[in-house]
Amino acid sequence: MKNIQDFFLFCSGVEHSVLEQCPTDRNKYTGIGATVFFTGVLAFFSSSYALFTVFDSYGMAIAFGLVWGLMIFNLDRYIVMSMKSNGQWWRDFLVAFPRMLMAVLLALVISKPLELKIFEKEIQAEMLQMEQEVFKLQEDRGKDRYHAQIESFRAQAMQIKMDITAKTAYRDSLAKAAVQEADGTGGSRKKNLGPIYRAKKDAADQAQAELMAYVNENQPLAREKELAAQQLETAAQKDIAQLDRGKYNGFAARIDALSRLSGKSLAIWWASLFITLLFIAVETAPILVKLISYRSPYDYVLHQQEHEYEMANLEKTTLLGNQVKNKVKVDTEVGLHEANASIQKEKAIIDQKLKETLEGLKNRGVGWG
């Protein structure tokens, strides 16, 4: 049991030499360390699941998940360890605020993959629908590439057929008029094969000739257009059959599916929100505990040791600074004195040389005289 407690104390980042002087704080920091540890464990499971959806490999998911979990654990441990109570709530809050923001960010990162796991069944059903929508969109795009040309060929073939139908109807109407003129049921109402009948018969024969000429010329073209349209349809179906039908179950797709589910179902939206808030509460719990707790003996002893070190360091740096200042002062004054002495010495030498020069000049003047 003691080993477990020592491990959780390590997770809390507590200083053991200080804690030994404050045994009443052991339980407090044991709880904080346990929270930090289990946050790292949740981060491990969360990232392992997320990475498994990416790599489809248990080994890689566990390896990267372990690295991610240790990184989150280290960050949480540092965040808690760097929190120190100053005895003034506003100063403690200013110190805690950036750490709270980081903790919230970590909670959001950890919670999302676990949300995906919690709603996995609902997400799978939604992803099937999304997959069909994606495939339908791909098929529509494939068809759209050929649609305009297919419709153009079919329209041309249909126009030729409509023209043949119209010309056939026109020919039939002329032939009918000639027959009615011949049997007296129409036209002049006289049964004969006279000039009126021959004129109508000639018109019908002319229409028949024009129809046959149009059919012979354009019917093969209509068949050619229909065959071209069929070939394009076959090509479109072939392209659609060759589309990538891979599984639509990536990490981004799962997040998108969860977002769609939240938009469709208010219950899922609330559940997702509360799961996120739960992870935020767990992640920020150690910081909140240290923020709202009164200063404990551990805080006082730690502050005392840090203050003693600070004062000792201040004393040492002050003495060192004074030594440096004194040495600089001594070196400056000695250097100045040496410079003055050197100047005096040089002056004396120059004066001596001038004196000797003047005496030499005087002696020469006396000799000349």
Do the beta carbons of residue 34 and residue 286 sit within 8 Å?
Answer: no
- Total-model pTM: 0.51
Average pLDDT over residues 120-130: 83
Q: Name the token pair of 205.
A: 């024969």
Do the beta carbons of residue 160 and residue 219 sit within 8 Å?
Answer: yes
329: number of Cβ within 10 Å: 10
Do the beta carbons of residue 84 and residue 296 sit within 8 Å?
Answer: no
Instruction: Outline where the chain has alpha helix (H).
Output: 2-12, 16-19, 26-55, 58-81, 89-118, 120-183, 195-241, 251-264, 266-292, 297-368
Average pLDDT over residues 108-132: 82
pLDDT band at 368 (very low <50, low <70, confident <90, very high): very low
In the predicted model, is pLDDT for residue 197 greater than 80? no
199 contact partners, CB below 8 Å, separation of at least 6: none
**Tens digit of each residue's pLDDT (9 = 90 or more) over 330-363:** 888 888 888 888 888 888 888 888 887 877 777 7
User: In a 3-state reduction of DSSP, which class is residue 274?
Assistant: helix
**Tens digit of each residue's pLDDT (9 = 90 or more) over 240-251:** 777 666 566 677
21: number of Cβ within 10 Å: 14
Between CA 40 and CA 74 the distance in angstroms is 8
In the predicted model, is pLDDT for residue 327 greater than 70? yes
Average pLDDT over residues 70-97: 75
Task: Note the pLDDT of residue 161.
Answer: 86
Between CA 179 and CA 192 the distance in angstroms is 10
pLDDT band at 31 (very low <50, low <70, confident <90, very high): confident
Between CA 359 and CA 251 the distance in angstroms is 108
Task: Note the pLDDT of residue 349.
Answer: 85
Block residue for tokens 């004074």? 322
3-state SS, one letter per residue, for 230-244: HHHHHHHHHHHHCCC
Range in 82-96, 171-185, 299-313 with the lowest mean pLDDT:
82-96
187 against 210, higher pLDDT: 210
User: Which amino acid is it at 221?
Assistant: L
Percent of the chain topping pLDDT 70: 88
User: Which amino acid is it at 83?
Assistant: M
**Tens digit of each residue's pLDDT (9 = 90 or more) over 265-277:** 888 889 888 888 8
289 contact partners, CB below 8 Å, separation of at least 6: 28, 31, 32
Q: Name the token pair of 28.
A: 């407090």
Task: Note the pLDDT of residue 244.
Answer: 65
Q: Name the token pair of 24.
A: 């009443």
Do the beta carbons of residue 81 and residue 298 sit within 8 Å?
Answer: no
Do the beta carbons of residue 96 and residue 83 sit within 8 Å?
Answer: yes
131 contact partners, CB below 8 Å, separation of at least 6: 247, 248
Do the beta carbons of residue 234 and residue 142 sit within 8 Å?
Answer: no
Task: Note the pLDDT of residue 50.
Answer: 76
User: Which amino acid is it at 216?
Assistant: N
Do the beta carbons of residue 83 and residue 287 sit within 8 Å?
Answer: yes
DSSP designation for 82: T
In the predicted model, is pLDDT for residue 187 greater than 60? no
Mean pLDDT estimate for the chain: 79
Long-range contacts of 7-15 (CB under 8 A, 24+ apart): 7/33, 7/37, 8/33, 8/34, 8/37, 9/33, 11/36, 11/37, 11/73, 11/77, 12/36, 12/77, 12/80, 12/81, 12/286, 13/77, 13/78, 13/80, 13/81, 14/81, 14/298, 15/302
Task: Note the pLDDT of residue 81.
Answer: 80
Q: What angle do CA 93, 98, 102 make, to 5 degrees?
A: 130
